Amino acid sequence: MKNHICTIFIILFCFAAFIKAQNKSTIQGTWISENNDFIKIKEEGSRFNILSTNEIEEQLNIMIKKDSLSFYTKYTKVGSDKIYFSKYDFYIKKMNEKQLILIPTSELSKNLFNNRPQIIFTRQEFNIDHSISFEKLIYRTTSCYGNCSIINLELDKNKNIYIHREIFNDKINSGNFKGTLSEEEYARFINILQTSNLRKWYFPEKDGSDSPITTLIIYHNGKRKYFKSMFPPAISNQLIKLLYEIGEKAQLIRTDKEKQMEY
């Protein structure tokens, strides 16, 4: 009888561990809400999980349990070795491959989401809007207090690209360049546009200093959208990171002709 009970206990323990592991695997990824809330869940032990609204972005640790999720940071106070926690706690109301519904349960999480009763997230790869028809993009980033490159980039729907770049301490690769964006990079670009709520983007005004200012002018579906900020919201970071990478590293043909791009 004792052996039978022990066997049942082991089976239940292993099943619970399996469910917990599945939950952690399912919840990892990038999630977006209709309000441009954005979370990126990597894994426990990483300090670079992202929790953000359109106005606020935090990079935090995470703790995942069967029906709860906590984004947190640890700190100490002067004169004390005691460790304190600031926690954004959520109850996981629903979670599957495509959708994650979170209910804020701590004061920090409630305040962050302005006391919304729940936040419905869609995994980014399922948040696709095939109706986005790209026409043209202008991307600019300024210098900063450091080694930021200055990049002015224009890309059109035919993959034609023009870049003026000033790379810190690299005159050889600085200058004016033109060419055609690769199929792979263009596919990445279109995928980001179509999965990141582009139709609902807005950049809040934020003051700051010593950081680059990002400008994006995007033409799509016969419309022009203009965005400019020193601190763009997290939902736009994938696009900005890709454009910066292309602007610095794209292997194009040098040209003496300077293209006049709109501001």
Q: pLDDT-derived band of residue 4, with 50, 70 and 90 as boundaries?
A: low
157, two tokens: 């729907």
Q: What is the mean pLDDT of the chain?
A: 89
For the chain, give me the number of helices (H) and strands (E)? 4, 15
Please report, rounded to a whole number, the percentage of residues in the chain having pLDDT higher than 70.
90
Q: Which amino acid is at 102?
A: L
Phi, psi (5° rounding) for residue 56? -130, 140
Residue 234 has pLDDT above 50, yes or no: yes
- Position 172 scores a pLDDT of 86
Q: Per-residue pLDDT averaged across 17-24, rounded?
A: 45
Q: pLDDT-derived band of residue 173, with 50, 70 and 90 as boundaries?
A: confident
Q: How far is CA 124 from CA 27, 28, 127, in A?
A: 12, 11, 5
Q: Count of alpha carbons within 13 Å of 202, Cβ hemisphere only?
A: 6
Neighbours of 70 (CB within 10 A): 18
What domains sit in the chain, N to C, each tagged with a CATH number?
A: 29-126 (2.40.128), 134-254 (3.30.1560.10)
Lowest mean pLDDT among 24-28, 168-172, 182-186, 222-226: 24-28
Phi, psi (5° rounding) for residue 229? -170, 150
Residue 104 has pLDDT above 60, yes or no: yes
- Position 25 scores a pLDDT of 66
- Position 209 scores a pLDDT of 74
Question: Got the DSSP string for 54-121?
Answer: SS-EEEEEEEE-SSEEEEEEEE--TT----EEEEEEEEEEEE-SSEEEEEE-SHHHHHHTTT-S-EEE
As a whole number of Å, the CA-based R_g of the chain is 23
Three-state SS for 43? coil
Give the C-alpha separation, 105 to 116, whole Å. 11
Reported pTM: 0.85
Please give the residue that has the higher pLDDT: either 169 or 179: 179
Please give the residue that has the higher pLDDT: either 250 or 140: 140
Q: Are the C-beta atoms of 127 and 195 separated by less than 8 Å?
A: yes
- Position 255 scores a pLDDT of 93
Q: Residue 69: name the closest of 23, 19, 37, 131 by CA.
A: 23
Residue 220 has pLDDT above 50, yes or no: yes
Write down the residue that tokens 């995994």 correspond to. 123
Q: Per-residue pLDDT averaged across 230-242, rounded?
A: 96
Q: Per-residue pLDDT averaged across 4-27, rounded?
A: 51
Exposed, middle or buried: residue 263 (CB in 10 Å: 0-12, 13-18, 19+)?
A: exposed
Greatest mean pLDDT among 79-83, 94-98, 250-254: 94-98
Q: What letter does residue 236 receive in the DSSP assignment? A: G
